[in-house]
Structure 1
């Protein structure tokens, strides 16, 4: 099969298209014929082995990538199932988490897959897993957003942000989205009642107070973020870090957790959505919202499998509007 492989840590240029053996489906596994895969910041972190501390913790590999084939979000058709797998059959259209998604076939487990909503293309479906589940957890699970609350989403034009705005609106919140000038109309179209163009003003200087702030950017000091919170408001921190950082986003997230016990406001780090965790119920929740017409993926652009490196570079540079995806088949 054709796949994007990575032999060492480095920039997107280290990725190459190669012919390799297709994975064999084992007991308890599902083999997915990948039609599309999404690009995430997770992918370039894995590509570069960043942050460095993640290498010591075993998250990405110490001296070389833990996984030779990159990619984690996929949508496609079930090609085969292993012994002991129930509820998933060959031919089913699915979306979910598949390690090695930048390939024609990838193996995963049934608990990491859900049926693809009929109204989505494979490219749209691939955009869902990591970004939508992270947004759901940030807004609903950790942020505890409720109807009537004032919710601010920083980074509202990105992959997680576009889902987060819609999820908060679906919960009945009054949503303010913070984004760049080119994304103002997009964020407004997703249901945001108010949009702040960060190139013109800083939302922490506006004097507005929010019940929940989901920060997907990580570019402002904690003290300034707290100024935008109601006295007992909640900050959910999910952002920061850049290539080459020793600790990446882990430093600011630890700071949030450290300060939380000493203030009245709730300060919560958002633990990254990893494909090995319990995600099935969250995947079902977001696809249910999609099926009800209350949530829709925003796909910025798609790349053929051979141009995966260009797609990763686009995401790493922070240019993605919504999600960028790879079309595999």
Structure 2
């Protein structure tokens, strides 16, 4: 098979490799669409090791391990490869754990499905594990719970909004830009939800005030939310804006969840505020209950797509199949990707025996 290897300097080579064999709890997926994420260039650089760093995958089951009971050959699936492990998504075939895979319902394209796994799982850990919101399989809270989501255009921020809406969290104040209009479908003005364009504010103080004003208009006492999800996760967002918007005294402490590996101690200048982090790596590096979370969460994604309360992220399919990996990751590195996921149609890779495959075949 063909496989794209990403080097620490950002260059990419396409090489021949043996088709991997799945372990007992693993599934071999014939990749139709691979998704890209900023971590796909960051991880080889951080580890200083060349690797197939793709993780978002959608395709069909080719082979299952001896202990896999929910999937069989030919199933349409999507899932997340365990990052830093061999046999990632930038290849004709990828290995995915059965607990990090979900069935793609008929009528949902592989392109849409490939936008979901990593970003949605990260959002799920942030909302339901770190912030303590009720998960979609739990009874909803009877009281209103205010939530700020910073980075509405990002895939992880948009999925945080979609999942929060699914569990009836209101009011949601989303911070984004003119690129974020697609999330309006998941915001309910009647419940006090609002979208704030950060570009209209010239200072962090002004933006923080706008957030508090929106929450106050929604009936939140003092306009102070106690929970925030930061899909951008820079000091300028979690300390410069969110800590100001959530400042206040008393208990419980306000909590901000970030999605990048930043130090959570001493990064917010407010003793009444807690900074915590969420990572999709919790699904295979964390405690047993964290790993079980991903198993249940991915089955829920099938339910959400089938019933219509969950949809994927806007996307663009880059040309050239695996030959498009380097250009796509360069766009991520140069921060040129806005409000969309960059995808790769593996069948478009020059020289593949499966060259005849076309994107119109991704639907049943």
TM over 0.5: yes
- Equivalence for 1:3: 3
Equivalent residue of 2:266, what SS? helix
- Seen in structure 2, the aligned counterparts of structure 1 residues 169 and 271 have a Cα distance that, compared at 3 Å, is closer
Q: Deviations over 1:163-197 (max 9, x none)?
A: 111111222222121112333x2232332631111
Q: TM-score, normalised by structure 1?
A: 0.81
- Seen in structure 2, the aligned counterparts of structure 1 residues 179 and 224 have a Cα distance that, compared at 3 Å, is closer
- Equivalence for 2:150: 154
Question: Per-residue deviation at 1:155?
Answer: 0.4
The reply on whether 1:255 has 2:252 as its aligned counterpart is: no
- Equivalence for 2:95: 107
RMSD (CA atoms)? 2.5
The reply on whether 1:199 has 2:199 as its aligned counterpart is: yes
Equivalent residue of 1:79, what SS? strand
Question: Per-residue deviation at 1:33?
Answer: 0.4
For 1:325 and 1:235, the matched residues in 2 are separated by 33
Structure whose alpha-carbon radius of gyration is higher: 2
Greater alpha carbon shift after TM alignment, 318-327 vs 30-39: 318-327
Contact 1:300 1:320 in 2 (8 A): no
Question: Per-residue deviation at 1:109?
Answer: 2.6
For 2:324 and 2:200, the matched residues in 1 are separated by 35
Q: TM-score, normalised by structure 2?
A: 0.74
Q: 1:326 aligns with which of 338, 344, 358?
A: 344
- Equivalence for 2:41: 44
Question: Per-residue deviation at 1:297?
Answer: 0.8
The reply on whether 1:237 has 2:257 as its aligned counterpart is: yes
Equivalent residue of 2:199, what SS? coil
For 2:331 and 2:69, the matched residues in 1 are separated by 39
- Equivalence for 1:128: 116
Q: 1:276 aligns with which of 284, 294, 298?
A: 284
Higher RCO (CA < 8 A, seq sep 6+): 1
Question: Per-residue deviation at 1:233?
Answer: 5.9
Q: Determine which structure has the larger strand proportion and give its number.
A: 1
* Structure 1 residue runs without a partner (length 5+): 50-59, 241-248
Equivalent residue of 1:153, what SS? strand
For 1:194 and 1:237, the matched residues in 2 are separated by 20
Contact 1:301 1:325 in 2 (8 A): yes
Contact 2:55 2:88 in 1 (8 A): yes
- Seen in structure 2, the aligned counterparts of structure 1 residues 286 and 270 have a Cα distance that, compared at 3 Å, is farther
The reply on whether 1:225 has 2:242 as its aligned counterpart is: yes
Question: Per-residue deviation at 1:224?
Answer: 4.4
- Equivalence for 1:53: none
For 1:230 and 1:149, the matched residues in 2 are separated by 17
Contact 1:153 1:165 in 2 (8 A): yes
Question: Per-residue deviation at 1:5?
Answer: 1.2
* Structure 2 residue runs without a partner (length 5+): 82-86, 134-140, 214-223, 286-290, 348-364
- Equivalence for 1:24: 21
How many residues of Structure 1 are paired with residues of Structure 2 in the alignment?
Answer: 298
